[in-house]
Amino acid sequence: MRRHTRQLARRPVHIIQHGRLRHTRGRIRPKVPHHAGQEAGQVRPHHNILWHVPERAGGPRHGILYGGLAPRRHGHSQNHIRDAWGPGRRQPYVRAGRREAHRHDAGGRRLGQGGHTMTEWRDMEERWQKAWSEARLFESDPDSRPKKTITVAYPYPNSPQHLGHGRTYTLADINARFWRMRGYNVLFPMGFHYTGTPILGMARRVAGGDPEIMDGLLNIYGVPPDTVRGFAEPLNIANYFSAEIETGMKEMGYSIDWRRRFTTIHPAYQRFVEWQIESLRRRRLIRRGSHPVGWCPQDGNPVSQHDTLGDVEPEFAEYTIVKFGWGRHILPAATLRPETIFGVTNLWVNPDAQYGIWQVGRERWIMTEECAQKLAHQGRRPVHIGDIPASDMLGAAAESPVGGHIPVLPAGFVRPDTGTGIVMSVPAHAPFDHAALRAIDPDGTIPSRPIIAVSGYGDDPAAQICGGLDTSDESALERATETLYSKEFHTGVMLEGCGPYSGRRVSECKDDIRGWLARKFGARTMMEMAGEVRCRCGARCIVKMLEKQWFLDYGDESWKASARRCLDGMEVLPPEIRGEFHNIIGWLRERACARQRGLGTRLPWDPDWIVESLTDSTVYTAFYILMKYVNAGAIQPDVMDWDLFEYVFLGRGEPPNPTAQEMRQEFLYYYPVDTRHSGRDLVPNHLTFFVMNHTALFPERHWPRQIVVNGSVLMDGKKMSKSMGNIIPLRGAILRHGADPIRLGITISAELLQDADVNLESVSGMGTRLERMIRECGEAEPGEAGGEREDAWMRSRIHWTVQAVTANMERMRMREALHDVMYGMERDVQWYARRLAARGRAMPPGMAHMICEMRARLLAPFAPHTAEEMWHTLGNDGFVSVSEWPEAGNVDHSIVHDEDYLVSVLRDISNIVRVSGIAPRRIRVYAAESREIYDTVLECVAGGAADMRSIMEIISGDDSKRHLRVYPKEIAACLKDILSESVTTREARLRHSTFDERKLLEEHLRDVVRTEYDCTVSVYGSGGVPESEDPKRKARLARAYHPAIYIE
RNA sequence: GCGGGGGUUGCCAAGCCCGGUCAAAGGCGCAGGGCUUAGGACCCUGUCUCUGAGGAGUUCGCGGGUUCGAAUCCCGCCUCCCGCACCA
């Protein structure tokens, strides 16, 4: 059994943890040249012609350009739509008075005068950021209002932020801004996670002048050369990028309380981590054990993915070392398939390899030097006591643990650096063994010993699968091996002669056999890299068993139970991710919680170890509350001891000082966390640890209330990564597109849990839309809002929108909410403008104002800068960011119902016009006069009868309806109509059974149609229309809600 | 292997939980028109097929089933992606 690492990487191998079978994966990382011009700080906005819109003279031309739903070209120009904004339209910004003065207060140059450059847009955003900051708008301290503590996983500053990071933070910010407007005292803090090893690796590579990383820093990240030189020092990297990220967050307009900022190597934070880890230890959740890690023998360091050449993830395979006796010596054969011990016919050694004799415990093992070195890192101490030529072993009769003697034979495929250099030969089940054995024993003197029955492969599976193969073709043998191993593992059954395991499935008894060999025959295990992994220094990595490693026992059942209880008591959004948390808790087990290098906090009781970085970042949400005091100088880190934390977090003991008392009060106010935001990738680790650690450290009333998980951001359908060259740095994107358009682009591109494929065109489309909204605010004046039917309709639609947006935002369905604000409302306003035009009215100024103001408020969480600009342009004081979230008024359902009807009739007309190609001169509409059948069927459907048979039964069984029995055709037609409508439409129609179609058509359809088609409109009842008025006999086709139409 | 999530009309992406609002939202792209000296931007219209009448036909990975009715529910299959730990 065996052998080539090359092959190991391609077939299922046993990974150390629980012996779970796991596929190793090949990773392909195409080299893609980085994109020039993406570097932060190198974008020159004035060169961005896409954004340059020349100023125009006639400002009013840009009145709100709502075209109708389907204005025809046949008739008038569409200008009536614009004219709907009517007399209220004027040159903006030329009026004197308070409002005007106010606008100038808002600062400098305004937008909305007919186009802007990117520079102007950025000026606008910066102006508001500055105003917020000066007004300390987002600083939160306890007060009498209810609170919301909203947090996001803090960033690891080893690179600038890109668009992908922006998504989680933007969602959190939208959430924070929403609740703030709803009257909550929102705490939204931010810190920086300095702890960790990747920065260490970067620093080392910079120090070594690694061209790849230098290129990345200078050209992709745009770090100035002078600064990069300082990056040999890890702290400089973290400081540089955290500042960079912080600036980016401010540029994005995040409503963060920056007074609470910290880094995880701040002395105060370290005191906090000491308290945390010590608490866990006192709760007996920390223990000691040994643990395998990838290891570079040259550097003497653990290696993880970012330390390896090609960023290969070090993965381990677990070999079983089966001891074969040979006189006073042991021949240790390493195998991945211990179950095949029953089928061994011989051992293989490499005739060209160097073997030595090593004292291992009380035994003398024969193995290669490489093997002895590896064992030395895995808790054994082989002592070299001599060499032995491979030839001395050839022909020896080795004693098998399961009985009998087998010969030692030579094989070239045995690699001295893999396993022990000695291999079990199982010719019945291993194609390589079969081929090698038959090559030196063509007559079958040594017969195969099949021990696994596997359907489709006969009595000698390896022989069969090798049947048609060229056995000198290694790759063919590898493929055969892979196929056979997989088949045997999953479907194979142990044959007779396998001791207690006969008749059992391979997949079920493999681990048992390993255990049995270990117990009865002293078999050992040995870790080996699954595939060749090289350190960045070039050395080949091995597996090292770290002794006396500290573990956090996430496997503790009672701990898991309380985590489940916490989870059950909290909201998880989106709901479908909840099950995943439970699964993860299910398989969670001990996890190393300390390591030997990197930035971080030392274990209080064992200063040789540093608290591992996913362990020191589980409950820091509580620390923001204290950090305000540290940053303000109200308390010094050196007095933050065990007693202080016990008091502040748990109320234990007496307050050590007045500040502690204040902190306790603030903690009680802000805790628990109301929302924890994070990306999906953190679900199996940080978010679950967040839950686990809270339950271990805090009383139940302080357990988190809600977790919100979002998907990541893709570029062109691919995950953003440096090696793909598709990273869009956030700050560069802001320069190019503006913060608000990016915020909207990210939010609207996908549902919460979906990965968002952001396209930059739609981002800039957002920009122009926002700009138009600002512009429109400049043309709206407070005033009379109109009392006509269409005004009432518009108001109802606004109320409906507020309801829908609010409900969606409460459930973190930000995409849908934004959709209603950006597009839904837009569509309503278009219809409104069309109705106004039909009646020759201009939009009442008050209504235009109300629409704009509602937009500003609903948009404020999403596009805060734009919303502030709109708010002030409308003449409001203060900040929309802290204004009240709109309350939804009552929706007049009957008006909405009637307008929906008009839209549907209009749609019918435009369909006919389009299909027939007629330029209408006259449109005749015949409204159905009786709705008895329709209403009857509608009632039946509402009552659950949706098929003809049951409807006919109901009608026949009701004296008042029985007379309708003779109209089955009509009934069927009504049923079809009704079923094609939505449930909400049906309900609305049920409620408005007194609805008078003809009257509505006469009063309203006429105007709308006439304006758009420039033709006459006649409305009739369907009964008794003289033939002169109904030349094509259409009137009889009228159905309820479907007037007959004739166009000439 | 274990666990999770997908496959929708040119692309991205809703809908699926709660079956008829679905030829299927919205965005992008594309086409025509408007506006503009022009380009860009913006606005309108169209964008599965057929249609001189509001209609019909064929679609939602594949194959079955349940139902008056399925993108939506059930069963089977194919296929893609992600996580699996000491790493943020």
Three-state secondary structure string covering A580-607: HHHHHHHHCCEEECEECCCECCEECCEE
* Separation between Cα atoms, residue A834 and residue A839, nearest integer Å: 9
**Residue A543: CA atoms inside 13 Å, Cβ hemisphere, count?**
29
Question: What Cα–Cα distance (Å) separates residue A899 from each residue in A71, A797, A838, A1005?
Answer: 17, 11, 14, 10
How many Å does it take to go from CA A752 to C1' B13?
Answer: 12
ipTM over cut 0.85 = yes
pLDDT in the model for residue A716: 65
* Separation between Cα atoms, residue A92 and residue A292, nearest integer Å: 71
For residues A317 and A403, the answer to whether their CB atoms sit within 8 Å is no
Report percent pLDDT > 90 for chain A: 35
* Separation between Cα atoms, residue A839 and residue A436, nearest integer Å: 94
A709-725 pLDDT per residue, tens: 988 887 766 777 666 66
* Residue whose C-alpha is closest to residue A593's, from A1040, A193, A215, A291: A291
* Separation between Cα atoms, residue A153 and residue A680, nearest integer Å: 11
Q: Which nucleotides of B are covered by protein (CB under 7 A)?
A: 1-6, 12-15, 20-23, 25-29, 33, 38-46, 51-55, 68-69, 82-88
Chain A window 567-586: residues with CB closer than 7 Å to nucleic chain B are 576, 579-580, 583
Kindly give, in sequence order, each residue whose CB lies less than 8 Å from that of residue A600, ignoring residues fewer than 6 positions away. A194, A195, A196, A264, A265, A273, A610, A611, A612, A613, A616
Strand, helix or coil for residue A855 = helix
Closest protein residue to B33 (Cα–C1'):
A73
For residues A619 and A552, the answer to whether their CB atoms sit within 8 Å is no
How many Å does it take to go from CA A639 to C1' B52?
Answer: 89
Q: Is the pLDDT assigned to residue A587 strictly greater than 60?
A: yes
Is any atom of strand B within 7 angstroms of residue A99's beta carbon? no
Nucleotide in closest CA–C1' contact with A22: B1
pTM of the full structure: 0.82
Tell me the pLDDT band of A676, cut-offs 50, 70 and 90: very high
Structure tokens at A490: 């999953």
pLDDT in the model for residue A56: 25
Question: What Cα–Cα distance (Å) separates residue A988 from each residue in A461, A895, A991, A995?
Answer: 71, 10, 5, 11
Is any atom of strand B within 7 angstroms of residue A918's beta carbon? yes
Give the count of beta carbons closer than 10 Å to the beta carbon of residue A539.
15
Q: Is the pLDDT assigned to residue A96 strictly greater than 50?
A: no
A354-392 pLDDT per residue, tens: 999 999 989 999 999 989 988 888 888 899 999 999 899
The secondary structure element, H or E, covering residue A359 is strand A354-360
Please indicate whether residue A274 or residue A513 has the higher confidence score (pLDDT): A274
Q: Is the pLDDT assigned to residue A251 strictly greater than 90?
A: yes
Q: Is the pLDDT assigned to residue A106 strictly greater than 60?
A: no
Tell me the pLDDT band of A882, cut-offs 50, 70 and 90: very high
Tell me the pLDDT band of A934, cut-offs 50, 70 and 90: confident
Q: Is the pLDDT assigned to residue A416 strictly greater than 80?
A: yes
Most confident range (mean pLDDT) of A11-20, A137-146, A539-548 is A137-146
Q: Which of the residue ranges A27-36, A137-146, A970-979 would you say has the lowest mean pLDDT?
A: A27-36
How many Å does it take to go from CA A718 to C1' B58?
Answer: 33
Is any atom of strand B within 7 angstroms of residue A943's beta carbon? no
Q: Is the pLDDT assigned to residue A848 strictly greater than 80?
A: yes
* Average predicted confidence (pLDDT) for chain A: 81
Most confident range (mean pLDDT) of A259-263, A462-466, A487-491, A1022-1026 is A259-263
Most confident range (mean pLDDT) of A64-68, A554-558, A699-703, A1033-1037 is A699-703
Closest protein residue to B51 (Cα–C1'):
A915
Q: Is the pLDDT assigned to residue A41 strictly greater than 70?
A: no
Token pair 């549902």 is at which residue? A751
Please indicate whether residue A737 or residue A475 has the higher confidence score (pLDDT): A737
Is any atom of strand B within 7 angstroms of residue A979's beta carbon? yes
* Separation between Cα atoms, residue A539 and residue A303, nearest integer Å: 11
Kindly give, in sequence order, each residue whose CB lies less than 8 Å from that of residue A608, ignoring residues fewer than 6 positions away. A596, A602
Structure tokens at A411: 């094989």
Kindly give, in sequence order, each residue whose CB lies less than 8 Å from that of residue A137, ignoring residues fewer than 6 positions away. A255, A879, A881, A882
What is residue A219's DSSP assignment? I
pLDDT in the model for residue A725: 66
For residues A424 and A333, the answer to whether their CB atoms sit within 8 Å is yes
Tell me the mean pLDDT in the region A974-982.
76
Q: Is the pLDDT assigned to residue A821 strictly greater than 60?
A: yes
Tell me the mean pLDDT in the region A545-571.
90
Chain A window 821-840: residues with CB closer than 7 Å to nucleic chain B are 823, 830
Chain A window 296-315: residues with CB closer than 7 Å to nucleic chain B are 302, 304-306, 315
Is any atom of strand B within 7 angstroms of residue A483's beta carbon? no
A284-300 pLDDT per residue, tens: 999 888 888 888 888 77
For residues A811 and A571, the answer to whether their CB atoms sit within 8 Å is no
Q: Which of the residue ranges A114-123, A128-137, A609-618 would you say has the lowest mean pLDDT?
A: A114-123
Please indicate whether residue A635 or residue A765 has the higher confidence score (pLDDT): A635
Q: Is the pLDDT assigned to residue A881 strictly greater than 90?
A: yes
How many Å does it take to go from CA A361 to C1' B34?
Answer: 91
Report percent pLDDT > 70 for chain A: 88
Tell me the mean pLDDT in the region A688-715.
92
Q: Is the pLDDT assigned to residue A17 strictly greater than 60?
A: no
For residues A180 and A881, the answer to whether their CB atoms sit within 8 Å is yes
A221-231 pLDDT per residue, tens: 889 999 999 99
A601-655 pLDDT per residue, tens: 999 999 989 999 999 999 999 999 999 999 999 999 999 999 999 999 999 999 9
* Separation between Cα atoms, residue A507 and residue A783, nearest integer Å: 79
pLDDT in the model for residue A49: 20
Strand, helix or coil for residue A1031 = coil
Return the percent helix, strand and coil in chain A, to nearest 5.
50, 15, 35
Q: Is the pLDDT assigned to residue A87 strictly greater than 50?
A: no
Tell me the pLDDT band of A969, cut-offs 50, 70 and 90: confident
A48-61 pLDDT per residue, tens: 221 222 222 222 22
Q: Is the pLDDT assigned to residue A249 strictly greater than 90?
A: yes
Q: Is the pLDDT assigned to residue A170 strictly greater than 90?
A: yes
Tell me the pLDDT band of A5, cut-offs 50, 70 and 90: very low
How many Å does it take to go from CA A369 to C1' B86?
Answer: 29
How many Å does it take to go from CA A994 to C1' B15?
Answer: 33
Q: Which of the residue ranges A25-34, A256-265, A535-544, A959-968 would you say has the lowest mean pLDDT?
A: A25-34
For residues A640 and A268, the answer to whether their CB atoms sit within 8 Å is yes
Is any atom of strand B within 7 angstroms of residue A922's beta carbon? no
How many Å does it take to go from CA A1005 to C1' B9?
Answer: 33
Q: Is the pLDDT assigned to residue A18 strictly greater than 60?
A: no
pLDDT in the model for residue A824: 85
For residues A222 and A729, the answer to whether their CB atoms sit within 8 Å is yes
Is any atom of strand B within 7 angstroms of residue A593's beta carbon? yes
Please indicate whether residue A510 or residue A41 has the higher confidence score (pLDDT): A510
How many Å does it take to go from CA A16 to C1' B83?
Answer: 17
Tell me the mean pLDDT in the region A240-260.
96
Strand, helix or coil for residue A931 = coil
How many Å does it take to go from CA A62 to C1' B36?
Answer: 14
β-bridge partners, A610: A595, A602
Please indicate whether residue A96 or residue A435 has the higher confidence score (pLDDT): A435
β pairing state of A571-573 and A706-710: parallel
